[in-house]
């Protein structure tokens, strides 16, 4: 009986931890909480604990695991909706400054780093970029940024 209780405790804890890392909307967490509660009841009663001790341990483990599951269910979707701030995806939309430009590419300063850059839309043969022009990153290809001229409203965001 004790071994079954410990196995249920381990399985329940594993499911609750998985719920925090896998977006399953409680499908893994709820059985995990039930496994923790059932495992604690079996383990404590198998070790000779009285009814009061079994109820107290089950209540304590149940409340703590339910509160942990509630935090994971509330914060998980919020974290997935946030905009990426680092890496290649974080550079898209950033405003930078042209440091030098020789057609068809040049160097731009974005987020404190100097990058190779090309026009995002080569068919737009407008005025060439000059040193000091503000640009916006459209996408990243390898280590080269695809940029376009920043519009006035983007400079104040």
Co-location of 75 and 96 in the same domain: no
- Domain range holding 72? 2-81
- The pLDDT tens digits of the residues spanning 56-90 come to 999 999 999 999 888 888 887 787 777 777 777 78
φ/ψ bin of 67: left (φ > 0), alpha (ψ from -120 to 50), beta (otherwise): alpha
What rounded mean pLDDT belongs to the chain?
A: 88
Q: Which pLDDT belongs to residue 123? A: 67
Least confident span in 6-20, 26-40, 66-80: 66-80
Is residue 8 located within the same domain as residue 49?
yes
- Clarify whether residues 142 and 128 are in a common domain: yes
Q: Do both 9 and 77 map to the same domain?
A: yes
Q: What is the CATH number of the domain that holds 101?
A: 2.40.50.140
Question: Are 73 and 13 in a shared domain?
Answer: yes
| pTM above threshold 0.75 | no
Residue-wise pLDDT for 111-125, tens only, equals: 899 999 999 887 666
Closest among 28, 35, 34 to 8, alpha carbons compared: 35
| Domain stops at, among 49, 81, 113 | 81
3-class DSSP state for residue 120? coil
pLDDT at 124: 65
Last residue of a domain, one of 66, 81, 96: 81
Instruction: Indicate the pLDDT class of residue 43, thresholds 50, 70 and 90.
Output: very high
94 closest CA partner among 131, 152, 147: 147
Which single residue is written with the structure tokens 């004790």?
A: 2
Q: Is residue 91 located within the same domain as residue 151? A: yes
Do 70 and 93 share a structural domain?
no
Specify whether the CB–CB gap between 110 and 99 falls below 8 A: no
- Do 77 and 98 fall within a single domain? no
Residue in the block written with tokens 């009663």: 45
Q: In 29-140, where does DSSP find H-type helix?
A: 29-46, 51-81, 87-91
| 102 shares a domain with 64 | no
């Amino acid at each position: 009986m004790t071994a079954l209780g410990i196995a249920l405790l381990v399985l329940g804890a594993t499911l609750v931890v998985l719920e925090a890392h896998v977006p399953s909307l409680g499908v893994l967490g709820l059985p995990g909480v039930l496994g923790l509660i059932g495992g604690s009841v079996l383990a404590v009663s198998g070790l000779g604990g009285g009814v009061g001790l079994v109820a107290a341990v089950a209540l304590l483990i149940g409340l703590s695991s339910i509160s942990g599951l509630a935090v994971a269910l509330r914060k998980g979707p919020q974290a997935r909706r946030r905009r990426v701030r680092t890496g290649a995806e974080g550079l898209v939309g950033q405003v930078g400054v042209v440091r030098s430009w020789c057609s068809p590419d040049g160097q731009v300063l974005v987020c404190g780093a100097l990058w190779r850059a090309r026009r995002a839309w080569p068919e737009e043969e407008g005025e060439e970029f000059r040193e000091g022009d503000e640009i916006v990153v459209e996408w990243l290809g390898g280590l080269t940024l695809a940029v376009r001229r920043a519009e006035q409203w983007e400079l104040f965001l």
